[in-house]
Structure 1
Amino acid sequence: MNESLPRPDAAATTAADLGDFVSASPSSYHAVATAAKRMEEAGFSRLDETVPWALTPGTGHYVIRDGALIAWMNPTVTEATPRFRVFGSHTDSPAFKLKPGGEYTVEGTRQVGVEIYGGPLLNSWLDRELAFAGRLSLADGSIVLARTGPIARIPQLAIHLDRQVNEGLALDKQRHTAPVIGLADLAEADIIELLAASAGVDAETVVGHDVYTIPTQEPALFGAAEEFFASPRLDNLLSVHAGVTALTQLDADRLDGIPLLAAFDHEEIGSNSRSGACGPFLADVTERIVASLLPQSTRSDYLASMASSVCVSSDAGHAAHPNYPERHDPHVRPRLGGGPLLKLNAQQRYATDAVGTAVWSQACAAAGVEYQDFVSNNAMPCGSTIGPLTATRLGMTTVDVGPALYSMHSAREMVAVSDVVALGAAAKAFLQGS
């Protein structure tokens, strides 16, 4: 066993810590709050975007914009052309978002309207106890986080009423996805009152909400040797957790560049928001860092900094599925437990090129971990990530990587525990720069 990697018992501890992180992060807003708490415990301090910054060498900071977070460490000595080492990820996951309009009654049951957020594997959300979590905006302009207990379920139709269901389940996205939350004749509190109570505020003060369904089953180890880990939201809180853990464990005296974690929101719906990777968040923060560390710097100096920087975009990918082997490239067969993925795509759905490949190869070698290539079957177009968006917006060399999963976008995904450890080790080696 490579001595730089945790022993099996330590690997289980890493998985347990990931489970704690995921459980504390039912929405993107909770995820950044959880990350911020860990940053504070490691000595990082929060900065306010609305005021000027005066950064001090050797300190760590973070900024929150809605459901996104950027955190970094200032080097003890600033280079003439600062180089950023960006570890990118995203905080959101597919789910159902609570619609406005309150509750309605059908066949004696209380239901709420929901919209589909991102691309969830719809059938995986059926017949599960669900909670609601997100943020509430109040009449005084403040924001509070809310999280209910298990109050909802999307019940599937019994097989006796749909004899052909096992030949192919077809769900109407409007009619068949509405959660049931109670019996009409037992109504004591509506959904907004339940959310407000969970946040400790008066429901009458709630003027808006960004609230999502979440599965309530806890993360768990499983497998003959407990080599697997199952959890909701592994896409992409696994990468966020790896970045937060790595950044807070760096040796500040041995930094090669400026290590920075960018955890964006809204990746699952295209990233087009002020807190998404298409927005100005990363450019805004990096430009302010350069301007504060080098007060005499110019716009040209900032552009030189971006051209000298590199980004590792970490997002969940696919392991070759044993029950559907034909869905993958016939010759490139990434597997669970084989190490983090290096993602490649000729159409630039992933940003990886030969230069970026070398960056990831060096990080994995420094961490003592193996990585494996991922490329799609030509008949199965792949998704995309924040990688191409970051490369396009900022012009920095970018490489797409990530953990290999089964059941991506299911209400409950799975990963090999060893891959959780390996991704964290590679993330730390990359951010450290050695």
Structure 2
Amino acid sequence: MNNFTTESKSEDKPKEPSLEDKLVNKFKHGWEIFTDDQKQETLKLADEYFDFLKNARTERERTTWTIKKAEENGFKRLEIGKNINKLNPGDKIYYVNREKNVAMAVIGQKSLIEKIHMIGSHIDTPRLDLKMRPLYEDGKAAVALFKTHYYGGIKKYQWATIPLHLTGLIVKKDGTKIPIDIGKNPDDPVFTIPDILPHLSKNVQNKRKSPETFKGEELNVLAGALPIDENNNKDAKKVKEKFKINILKILNEKHGITEADLQSAELNLVSGLPPRYVGLDRSMIGAAGHDDGVCSWTGIKSLIDLKGAPKNTAIMSIFDKEEIGSNGSTGAQSAWIRFVMNDIMVRTGVSETLTNLHLTLSNTLMLSADVGSAINPIFPSVHDPLNAAVLGKGIVIEKHTGGGGKYGSSDVPAEIMAYIRKIYDEKTVPYQIVELGKVDEGGGGTIAKYFAESFNCDVVDAGTPVINMHSPYEIIHIADLFSTYLAYKTFFEAD
């Protein structure tokens, strides 16, 4: 009889990480990091984001949307310097500036002098604005058109031959405000810029360089192509510009305005391409205005979703005019946000002195929430692949922006970068630390440097990676949408 013996199995020991795992920095795909519950939450979050994309396309619309959400979630509107009341930890407030800025805050447990966690984004987007005297007639072509002036850094040719919506505000001399929104409703007409057919473009257009495929003065929009009805308008036969006057007649009948009223208007032509999921796996979202709607929306939602009083007062501010330099009374360079900070400081019991305000501003830690450039699979050569963002791998963290030799950037101290790594690693937030592109390929900037300079505070650029940036149809990944939300919420909750 054979005597078979079996060796006793030792308990399975955890596998020792390899030397590579210990030492090499790897950016995993967000979908590989998320739990099953987080994946379901990602899908839900993406569906919610669509409502914002469809209904909040310009700075005015996004301000209106933000105010509505703030009110629905228990935030109380305050006016700077008026009805000074005591604010306590957990109180939720917001301020509005000229219907184009909003600052929302949840009061924290610590004094504002100790520390504030603030996120700043922008709500303006590249688009076409109507000129102050936009309407004219081309008699030879038998059409009426609107002249436009493009806003922000666009590739002008991308805005031709696509549907455009007209939105904005007309203000009459008596102060009457007339909102305009044409194209969003499926039954509405849309507008478009006509291009030349390829059969005849050889000499007129084909030899132009890409930036001049369409020139600024050629971005004229078809407004209508029917002459005024002579049978039902007794003065019509005397009219020289029958197509132009017909458009003015329609505007007068529907909105009660004349041509002169267009001189006191803000009318914007925005992309009429509807937001849609992109790809068979519905992994991406295509829409206009991800820059910087995605960071604004996730920032607002992350603040609204805070439970109780955070350790540090959490502020979410949305600004206008970033795409043209953050100038003016509603841009990030405006003094308005300093007024807000001073007002909150006083309402939380801090003495109103210049020293205390300076301490409050200087001790603010800020995220400049703006989108980053992801590797474009068609044009990868503009990126350094070792330092480039990839769709799906998480929120983009940039130590600096600028161009060339970091010109025009806010360079974040290493100590702050270490803090950001720490809080995100502790909460398993997918993130990727990158640069915009190759060193001498170009460059860009955000609102970061303005706050670093005017507040004397530390500012980190942190936003969602995008393909097709500044086009009428930008692309983001749903995993990055959720990563951005997680990153902002983690930042607001951190000590």
Work out whether the TM-score is over 0.5: yes
CA displacement at 1:216 relative to structure 2: 1.6
- Superposed, which structure 2 residues align to 1:328-343 within 5 Å? 328-343=383-398
**1:388 counterpart residue number:** 449
One-letter identity of the residue aligned with 1:225: D
Question: SS of 1:120's equivalent?
Answer: coil
**1:101 counterpart residue number:** 133
**Which shows bigger deviation, 219-228 or 183-192?**
183-192
CA displacement at 1:331 relative to structure 2: 2.6
Alpha carbons 2:148, 2:219 under 8 Å: kept: yes
**2:428 counterpart residue number:** 368
| Candidates 16, 23, 35, aligned match of 2:47 | 16
**1:243 counterpart residue number:** 299
CA distance in 2, matches of 1:120, 1:175: 14
Does the C-alpha gap of structure 1 residues 174 and 120 become closer, same or farther in structure 2, counting only changes over 3 Å? Answer: closer
Does the C-alpha gap of structure 1 residues 141 and 293 become closer, same or farther in structure 2, counting only changes over 3 Å? Answer: farther
**2:163 counterpart residue number:** 129
CA distance in 2, matches of 1:300, 1:10: 44
Alpha carbons 1:273, 1:279 under 8 Å: kept: yes
**2:216 counterpart residue number:** 174
Question: SS of 1:290's equivalent?
Answer: helix
One-letter identity of the residue aligned with 2:168: G
Does the C-alpha gap of structure 1 residues 382 and 31 become closer, same or farther in structure 2, counting only changes over 3 Å? Answer: same
Alpha carbons 1:112, 1:181 under 8 Å: kept: yes
**2:29 counterpart residue number:** none
Question: SS of 2:264's equivalent?
Answer: strand
CA distance in 2, matches of 1:240, 1:84: 19
**Which shows bigger deviation, 143-152 or 221-230?**
143-152
Does the C-alpha gap of structure 1 residues 144 and 4 become closer, same or farther in structure 2, counting only changes over 3 Å? Answer: farther
CA displacement at 1:60 relative to structure 2: 1.1
1:158 aligns with 2:219: no
One-letter identity of the residue aligned with 1:30: E
**Which shows bigger deviation, 267-276 or 42-51?**
42-51
One-letter identity of the residue aligned with 2:477: A
Q: TM-score when scaled to structure 2?
A: 0.81
| Candidates 267, 275, 280, aligned match of 2:335 | 280
One-letter identity of the residue aligned with 1:357: M
One-letter identity of the residue aligned with 2:288: P
CA distance in 1, matches of 2:63, 2:253: 20
CA distance in 2, matches of 1:141, 1:363: 50
Alpha carbons 1:85, 1:309 under 8 Å: kept: yes
CA deviations on 1:349-369 (whole Å, 9 max, x unpaired) are: 244331331343234224422
CA distance in 1, matches of 2:92, 2:74: 7
**1:223 counterpart residue number:** 279
Q: Which runs of 5+ in 1 are unaligned?
A: none
Aligned residues: 429
Question: SS of 2:292's equivalent?
Answer: helix
| Candidates 177, 182, 190, aligned match of 1:148 | 182
One-letter identity of the residue aligned with 1:123: Y
Alpha carbons 2:112, 2:313 under 8 Å: kept: no
CA displacement at 1:95 relative to structure 2: 0.7
| Candidates 408, 414, 417, aligned match of 1:354 | 414
- Superposed, which structure 2 residues align to 1:421-432 within 5 Å? 421-432=482-493
Q: TM-score when scaled to structure 1?
A: 0.91
- Superposed, which structure 2 residues align to 1:392-431 within 5 Å? 392-431=453-492
Does the C-alpha gap of structure 1 residues 351 and 34 become closer, same or farther in structure 2, counting only changes over 3 Å? Answer: farther
CA distance in 2, matches of 1:317, 1:97: 25
CA distance in 2, matches of 1:125, 1:193: 25
**Which shows bigger deviation, 165-174 or 25-34?**
165-174
CA deviations on 1:265-304 (whole Å, 9 max, x unpaired) are: 0000001111101111211100111022125342211211
Alpha carbons 1:30, 1:145 under 8 Å: kept: no
Q: Which runs of 5+ in 2 are unaligned?
A: 1-31, 184-188, 229-242, 401-405
| Candidates 321, 324, 327, aligned match of 2:376 | 321
Alpha carbons 2:156, 2:214 under 8 Å: kept: no
Does the C-alpha gap of structure 1 residues 196 and 290 become closer, same or farther in structure 2, counting only changes over 3 Å? Answer: farther
Question: SS of 2:326's equivalent?
Answer: coil
**1:296 counterpart residue number:** 351
CA deviations on 1:308-357 (whole Å, 9 max, x unpaired) are: 21000011111111111211124323210011111133435244331331
1:256 aligns with 2:311: yes
Alpha carbons 1:102, 1:191 under 8 Å: kept: no
CA displacement at 1:36 relative to structure 2: 1.0
CA distance in 2, matches of 1:237, 1:195: 33
**1:63 counterpart residue number:** 95
CA distance in 1, matches of 2:253, 2:121: 30
CA distance in 2, matches of 1:148, 1:265: 23
Identity of aligned residues (%): 21
Higher-Rg structure is 2
One-letter identity of the residue aligned with 1:279: S
| Candidates 56, 61, 64, aligned match of 1:33 | 64
**1:92 counterpart residue number:** 124
Question: SS of 2:409's equivalent?
Answer: coil
**2:18 counterpart residue number:** none
CA displacement at 1:145 relative to structure 2: 3.8
Alpha carbons 1:78, 1:293 under 8 Å: kept: no
CA displacement at 1:427 relative to structure 2: 0.4
Question: SS of 2:217's equivalent?
Answer: coil
CA distance in 2, matches of 1:258, 1:192: 53
| Candidates 251, 271, 291, aligned match of 2:326 | 271
1:53 aligns with 2:108: no
CA deviations on 1:120-173 (whole Å, 9 max, x unpaired) are: 122221111111112332434354543112431011111001147677543343
